[in-house]
A and B are shown apart, each in its own frame.
Chain A
Amino acid sequence: RKEVEQDPGPFNVPEGATVAFNCTYSNSASQSFFWYRQDCRKEPKLLMSVYSSGNEDGRFTAQLNRASQYISLLIRDSKLSDSATYLCVVNPGGGAQKLVFGQGTRLTINP
């Protein structure tokens, strides 16, 4: 089983739609969780951290369910510029503070 699993997509949705991504992780001791965004042939950029209480940043809402080892990202009122690959990222703990990446979910917003 992969440490971090995501539906690779692709997701194709019209502009203005709401889209949701899910992610599961295998290590119950994982300490911190993130969503990164990666554009084609570019480096990943931090979109938001994910907290147990859930957190929102503008049109983006992230939630964490530690009991189910499940992370989600919701994008409301999607824009063309939201087209990218969204990476679910987990810090499994331990002193090195490594990050483990999911394979990413490809999203295309259509006009």
Chain B
Amino acid sequence: GAVVSQHPSRVICKSGTSVKIECRSLDFQATTMFWYRQFPKKSLMLMATSNEGSKATYEQGVEKDKFLINHASLTLSTLTVTSAHPEDSSFYICSARTVTDTQYFGPGTRLTVL
């Protein structure tokens, strides 16, 4: 299957700092990428849909100024958690959609905010 990478895989930061997470589709171009968040023992929750060359579409309840998304190329989307707080600690996963509408997931980024 298609390959999606995420970087970093794990990050620990102090409260108030900003953290950038990268999502790359390695062997295909993705006009649409998705960002999810998963808390322990909970389901994945879609945060936003990232569209190449345009503004991201955020799900209800997700603050766009808190979670900045940039999709500058067909193979790269970034999620920046601004002024992170302990309640933002979570597992952040991206996915990229192929032309056949299949979504492949990145390996995830585990964020811990102290």
User: Interface residues, chain A, CB within 8 Å of chain B?
Assistant: 32, 41-46, 87, 91, 96-104
Contact = CB atoms under 8 A, between A and B. Distances in A.
Nearest to A43: B105
Contacts of A44: 44, 93, 105
A43 B46 contact: no
A41 B102 CA distance: 22
B1 interface: yes
Interface of B: 1, 32, 34, 42-46, 49, 57, 91, 93, 95, 97, 101-108, 110
A87 B103 CA distance: 14
Which residue, B1, B102, B106, has most C-beta atoms of chain A within 10 A?
A: B102
Closest 5 CB pairs of A and B: A43-B105, A103-B43, A101-B44, A101-B43, A43-B108
Interface of A is mostly: loop
A96 B57 contact: yes
Contacts of A99: 34, 46, 95, 103
A43 B93 contact: yes
Contact of A97 (B1, B97, B106, B108): B97
A107 to B, nearest CB: 15
Contacts of A42: 107-108
A36 to B, nearest CB: 8
A23 to B, nearest CB: 12
Nearest to A2: B43
B43 to A, nearest CB: 4
A87 B43 contact: yes
A100 B93 CA distance: 14
Contact of A98 (B34, B102, B104): B34
Nearest to B6: A43
B106 A96 contact: no
Which residue, B42, B103, B107, B110, has most C-beta atoms of chain A within 10 A?
A: B103
Contacts of B43: 87, 101-104
Nearest to B95: A99
Nearest to B101: A97
